[in-house]
Amino acid sequence: MPDTELSRRALLGATAATGSALLMPEAAAARAPELAARPRVYLGTYTADGGHGLGVGALDPATGTPTVTSWLTGVPDPSWVDVSPDRRFLYTISESGGTVHAFRLDSAGHPAPLNQQPTGKGPAHVVLHPDGRHLLVSLYGGGAVVAHPVLPDGRVGPASDTVRHPGTAHAHQIVVDPSGRWLLAADLGLDSVYVYELKEGRFRQHRQVRLRKGAGPRHVVFHPGGEFVYVANELDSTVAVCRWRAGDLVVGQVLSTRPADAPGANYPGEIAISADGRFVYVSNRGDNTVAVLGTTGDRLRLLATPSCGGDWPRHLGLDATGRWLHVANQRSGDVTWFPLDHGLPGPLAGRLQAPAVAQVLTT
């Protein structure tokens, strides 16, 4: 992560607040039955930088248009969100508050607070384990990974385990492999991906896989076939292709996310893959583009780098239909979206204002 963002995160640490409130216009409440049948949208933002909180809304799958119907306020800097597969519960971090928050979702996707727990310094990412019984947090500021139990009613319990990585660690993300057995934790500060098992709420380290020095692994995505892993490296603007075999991660090809003649610095933010496994997408912060890479599994090829339509694309994601690509542009404060034609983004389809947006999640 660039020094400017490190400084900003340090500033956020001094601005934590408590409490939760849901601001929902009467018109949105009246449309609740209609919204319940539509795909949902959640926006994570940085409230310290002018964000409104956690955005809640719906997606029109015909046009790709996201609509925010309410903002959840009171959670400082809810920069990352995850939703249970049955869409009954939502979990978010407070990056500056060092807490994790649980919410129950109604039929229209609007959250009601359940509880919160301290998790550690500077959480950057949270994911619900597919078993629904564990919440996994990456502490960028604390250089650690944390496991919390999830109770049957959706509430999150006190941390059951915290594992601190050594030295200059900055744990950025945890992903769960398709089997549900293995966890991959990207640590930007150590140029490493850690492989863990989770046993009765405790981490068991299987191995530490080192990438090349200065790579800065940020986020990870599995190929739908489960045999390959793609690692977005923030500091050297590359993607590493890794072969995956039940706990063993072997690094192969490393490819830049930008053309060879691209000027200036660039810091990849998010990585995603199409449902058919043919296309990988990486947000380029600096170039303000989306890198589109074709893949055959163990090899990548840079196909195009179209504009993201904004400034500093921190996050991107595909909707459930695979027809739309949404991009969260942090500095320009908007979400942009593009139709996908045979994997390639088409012209800008629309723009939603969302100050200091950090994530756009569709479910």
- pLDDT tens sequence across 36-52: 578 999 999 999 999 99
Amino acid identity of residue 41, one-letter, is V
Nearest to 254 by CA among 269, 270, 273, 235: 235
Residue 145 pLDDT grade (very low, low, confident, very high; cuts 50, 70, 90) = very high
Nearest to 23 by CA among 92, 82, 73: 73
At 178 the three-state DSSP class reads coil
Q: How crowded is residue 152: how many other Cβ atoms within 10 Å of its Cβ?
A: 7
Query: Is the pLDDT score of 15 beyond 90?
Result: no
Helices (H) and strands (E) in the chain, counts: 3, 30
Distance CA 119, CA 162 (A): 9
pLDDT computed for residue 33 by the predictor: 53
Query: Is the pLDDT score of 7 beyond 50?
Result: no
Lowest mean pLDDT, pick from 18-22, 173-177, 199-203: 18-22
- 222 forms beta bridges with 229
Report how far Cα 347 is from the mean position of its chain's Cα atoms: 24
Separation of first and last alpha carbons in the chain: 28
Cβ partners under 8 Å of residue 347, min gap 6? 338, 339
Q: How crowded is residue 349: how many other Cβ atoms within 10 Å of its Cβ?
A: 17
Distance CA 282, CA 317 (A): 10
Query: Is the pLDDT score of 17 beyond 70?
Result: no
Distance CA 86, CA 136 (A): 18
Q: Please say whether the beta carbons of 195 and 231 come within 8 A.
A: no
Residue 11 pLDDT grade (very low, low, confident, very high; cuts 50, 70, 90) = very low
Is pTM beyond 0.85? Reply is yes
Residue 103 pLDDT grade (very low, low, confident, very high; cuts 50, 70, 90) = very high
Report how far Cα 156 is from the mean position of its chain's Cα atoms: 20
Phi, psi of 221 (to 5 degrees): -140, 140
Measure Cα distances from 266 to 140, 312, 314 in Å.
Answer: 20, 10, 12
Q: How crowded is residue 279: how many other Cβ atoms within 10 Å of its Cβ?
A: 21
Q: Please say whether the beta carbons of 238 and 256 come within 8 A.
A: yes
Residue 126 pLDDT grade (very low, low, confident, very high; cuts 50, 70, 90) = very high
Q: How crowded is residue 213: how many other Cβ atoms within 10 Å of its Cβ?
A: 9
275: domain CATH number is 2.130.10.10
Task: Tell me which residue range forms the domain holding 344.
Answer: 3-362
Query: Is the pLDDT score of 79 beyond 60?
Result: yes
Written as six digits, the tokens of 19 are: 């409490």
Q: Please say whether the beta carbons of 344 and 281 come within 8 A.
A: no
Measure Cα distances from 173 to 20, 66, 166 in Å.
Answer: 25, 26, 16
**DSSP notation for 98-116:** TEEEEEEE-TT--EEEEEE
Q: How crowded is residue 297: how many other Cβ atoms within 10 Å of its Cβ?
A: 13
Query: Is the pLDDT score of 302 beyond 50?
Result: yes
Sign of CA dihedral 164, 169, 170, 171: negative
Q: What is the mean pLDDT of the chain?
A: 93
pLDDT computed for residue 105 by the predictor: 98
Q: What is the mean pLDDT of residues 249-275?
A: 98
Distance CA 144, CA 124 (A): 11
Cβ partners under 8 Å of residue 287, min gap 6? 258, 262, 264, 266, 305
- Number of domains composing the chain: 1
Residue 16 pLDDT grade (very low, low, confident, very high; cuts 50, 70, 90) = very low
Residue 10 pLDDT grade (very low, low, confident, very high; cuts 50, 70, 90) = very low
pLDDT computed for residue 38 by the predictor: 86
Measure Cα distances from 110 to 70, 128, 279, 312, 362 in Å.
Answer: 8, 18, 32, 28, 14
pLDDT computed for residue 315 by the predictor: 99
Read off the pLDDT of residues 150-190 as tens digits, 9 standing for 90 and up.
999 999 999 999 999 999 999 999 999 999 999 999 999 99
Cβ partners under 8 Å of residue 175, min gap 6? 127, 183, 184, 220, 221, 222
